[in-house]
């Protein structure tokens, strides 16, 4: 899941495909959604988009709206990948990232084992 060379951020479609592949059937995934709305409207927009996606995908597995971050203009949501894809269709959502990221911390280099085997 990597963006193009000129844009290192993955697209919404790439993130949603990754979540669909990585999430077992019947379980939920979590993602962070970034909005293109004014800072003071983030909470209301998040709730409105969440409710609209929930109405469009009534069979969503335990869909939940998570924390809303006004300064980042983002919110988190949990649900099955079909629900998250429905939520990402909204025009106000400009980006999506999975909440569980691998390899955030740098890995050690040139490591030698001290105990001989």
CA–chain centroid gap for 100, Å, is 8
Calculate the CA 31 to chain-centre distance: 2
Cα separation, 11 vs 17, whole angstroms: 10
User: Does residue 2 lie in a domain region?
Assistant: no
Beta-strand ranges (E) seen in the chain are 29-35, 64-69, 74-79, 93-98
Q: Is residue 72 part of a domain?
A: yes
Expressed as residue numbers, the domain containing 65 is 12-98
- Kindly tell me the sign of the dihedral angle through the C-alpha atoms of 99, 36, 42, 82: negative
Largest CA-CA distance found in the chain, in angstroms, rounded: 61
List pLDDT tens digits, range 50-76: 999 988 877 766 889 999 999 999 999
pTM: 0.77
Q: How many structural domains is the chain composed of?
A: 1
In a domain, 49, yes or no: yes
What are the tens digits of pLDDT across the range 23-39? 888 888 899 999 999 99
Q: What is the mean pLDDT of the chain?
A: 84
Look up the CATH number of the domain holding residue 93: 3.30.70
Dist. CA 77–CA 53, nearest whole Å: 11
Residue 62 covered by a domain: yes
Query: Above 90 in pLDDT, residue 7?
Result: no
Query: Alpha carbon 7 to chain centroid distance?
Result: 18
């Amino acid at each position: 899941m990597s963006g193009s060379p000129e844009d290192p951020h993955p697209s919404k479609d790439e993130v949603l495909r990754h979540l669909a592949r990585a999430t077992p059937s019947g379980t939920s995934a979590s993602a962070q959604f970034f909005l293109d709305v004014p800072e003071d409207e983030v909470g209301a927009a998040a709730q409105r988009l969440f409710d609209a996606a929930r109405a469009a995908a009534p069979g969503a597995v335990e869909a939940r709206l998570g924390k809303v971050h006004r300064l980042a203009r983002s919110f988190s949501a949990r649900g099955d990948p079909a629900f998250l894809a429905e939520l990402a269709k909204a025009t106000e959502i400009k980006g999506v990232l999975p909440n569980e990221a691998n390899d955030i911390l740098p890995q050690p280099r040139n490591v030698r084992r001290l105990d001989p085997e």
